[in-house]
Structure 1
């Protein structure tokens, strides 16, 4: 495998990093109309080295968001259509006998790319869904006793239809926990929908979208995001939210330590997207629902997939916790 991608770009000032993120947001927004918050959350996950799960009804732009983000970065992109008969080897790859050498040679699967669109992830079995776990958590794939590193940047953007739709499987809690952000697209407002009709008159605008950043620039942004400052008061505020989920009478399972760390890193990403080198309380408040709601299990619902009920509980907790000043 090719070694993990590195960058030799010289250190860049904060305003230059912000210019890069603004360029990326603007480029994606050219084809994903009327969804600035969804675009921002996807970019936050990219900068914080997380993954995104987009859940909504068919036809509201879930796949378009993933394609637009991939097209905005000059790197490799693969789309995996998840179906009930998909096998783990179809995602990860497998060893194939090479007659001239008389040896088995590993042939990488579609997961070996920078941007992965896992389309309709909940239409495949949990066994195949679990094939993504190691890649999403550790940026590596283990197959037949060998470990292969994945190139940077690496992000999985998964789409799924609501569980009440026929032919879907509930994502296991361990799989949900690997997604940094879970969001819904929603229907566009009428004006944006009319503009969308006009823009699609002669084809798909995303097909003509040009890259706004190189892979090296994305890696540079990710490294800069890890350096964003988080004051102790902000960290305590974040932990107050997390610990309250564990004591809530409405929740059977609260947010884990991994969930707390994920919210911490996502807040750094939102600060970077906002042009700051420090996190503010509003960053944590803004991200509390999309980062934490899919990590809890309520006493009134059996699966963490019951997103609507979990959202309301997390919002209530955010309203009850005192914000640091």
Structure 2
């Protein structure tokens, strides 16, 4: 059984494993066999755990799912039932908990590149060749996840992948996710995409409306930013909750063309620090802040760090802590 996150990286990663297992018989099991695929979130996995485990799969592969307490509980239960576990991911929480995960799962692959690329390189080392379509989607996902400028050849596909990712995360339709994974893993070159044009257009209109509101908010908040070397710190509490915070950070990152740190609040009113930047800078800053002991929980990936701060942390001290972190990071560059 393959479990993947809802977004494009999760879909493409799941499709790669599905193709490698069902069509090539190479990985995770070295023979062709029936494969089930299912989308799960890092917290909703607890709600469907009994249903998944009741199938009694020989192997469960989790791709692009950030490690959480719920994921850990699920893995331990699966292990107690003698189910082999494969975990492939690039999120910060998974990287930070890798030593704990090594004691639970049978195969752990973590890295700073998008999960679709981790799976791609893994399959390449065992001699697996993907279909041209699936390989192009891997490349497009890598561009999006690392916020790179697409080549002329990939521009149109990148736009399609962005629309698909938004549609999946907005609609949360399990059957639609599954059909897309099956389509990507299909060896048939001319099979039709399982999305109607109307669905994409509807999501695109919703997305454009949301982007417009975020752009207006980013324009309003930009003048309030505090400069810490080349990083801008923006306090968005009272303006936006944690939902939408990542998108706002990305919007401000494009506005300033330099790294940004945005403070919002979670549902339980804990401060959430979102760091957006180029390459692994947010990841490096996050590592320092975690070592400082002010972080309760960490998420995101190398270019977008989501740090839930302890409630007793003085927000007025966050700027000085970020300054110390930036200084420490600069010494290692």
TM-score with structure 2 setting the length: 0.30
Please identify which structure carries the higher helix content: 2
